[in-house]
């Protein structure tokens, strides 16, 4: 009888995706992809991050982990820093907190707060468009779902277009210690803590 192969240990990478990079490893049009930054085989992105969005992306070789982190039923939180055009009022933010009616249905309630000062983020390349007569504001938004271009559609629905979008956390995993375009592997202890957090969000 042939020997049974031991399952491959779970690997998880955290990566600071730059602006203008596709969340895939190949592109027939020759645009920048994950392969330009991550020379690791047999890992797959946990969900997606839009071409024009930045920040935290997780990659793993564990399909069950991908399913738990991306399936809406588990309501796993993802936190974003969002620069919008003009300054929304608390009444506007309450609409996001309550849920916004989009073409694909009502969004789940979001945690939203207006930041008093801009976050400490590296400048984007290329920079956002600048309009001297139009102020901007930064929001921190935490979602428990991940529809296509959801935050951009939500802020547009209340009249405040998104100018820059940076994902800073997926559950208890953050960008801390990373630079733009850099990836690092999670330690076994960090992976165990991630699994524990997933069990807690399913309660």
Residues belonging to the active site:
50
Locus of tokens 């979008």: 165
- Rounded distance, CA 24 to CA 15, Å? 13
Q: Is 17 helix (H, G, I), strand (E, B) or coil?
A: strand
- Beta strand 162-170 with 54-60 is parallel
Q: Which helix (H) or strand (E) is 174 found in, with range?
A: strand 173-174
185: left (phi over 0), alpha (psi -120 to 50) or beta: beta
| CA–CA gap between residue 201 and residue 64 (Å, rounded) | 15
């Amino acid at each position: 009888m042939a020997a049974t192969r031991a399952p491959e240990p779970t690997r998880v990478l955290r990566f600071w995706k730059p602006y203008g990079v596709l969340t895939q490893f190949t592109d027939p049009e020759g645009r920048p992809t994950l392969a330009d930054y991550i020379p690791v085989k047999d890992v797959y992105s946990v969900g997606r991050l839009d071409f024009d969005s930045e920040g935290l992306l997780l990659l793993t070789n564990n399909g069950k982990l991908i399913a738990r982190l991306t399936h809406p039923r588990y309501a796993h939180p993802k936190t974003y820093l969002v620069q919008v055009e003009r300054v929304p009022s608390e009444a506007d933010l309450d609409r996001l907190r309550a849920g916004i009616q989009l073409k694909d249905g009502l969004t789940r309630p979001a945690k939203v707060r207006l930041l008093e000062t801009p976050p400490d983020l590296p400048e984007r390349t290329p920079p956002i468009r600048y309009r001297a007569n139009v102020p901007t504001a930064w929001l921190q938004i935490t979602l428990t779902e991940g529809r296509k271009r959801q935050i951009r559609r939500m802020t547009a629905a209340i009249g405040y277009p998104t100018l820059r979008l940076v994902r800073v956390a997926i559950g208890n995993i953050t960008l801390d210690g990373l630079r733009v375009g850099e990836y690092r592997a999670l330690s076994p202890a960090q992976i165990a803590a991630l699994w524990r957090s997933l069990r807690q969000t399913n309660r």
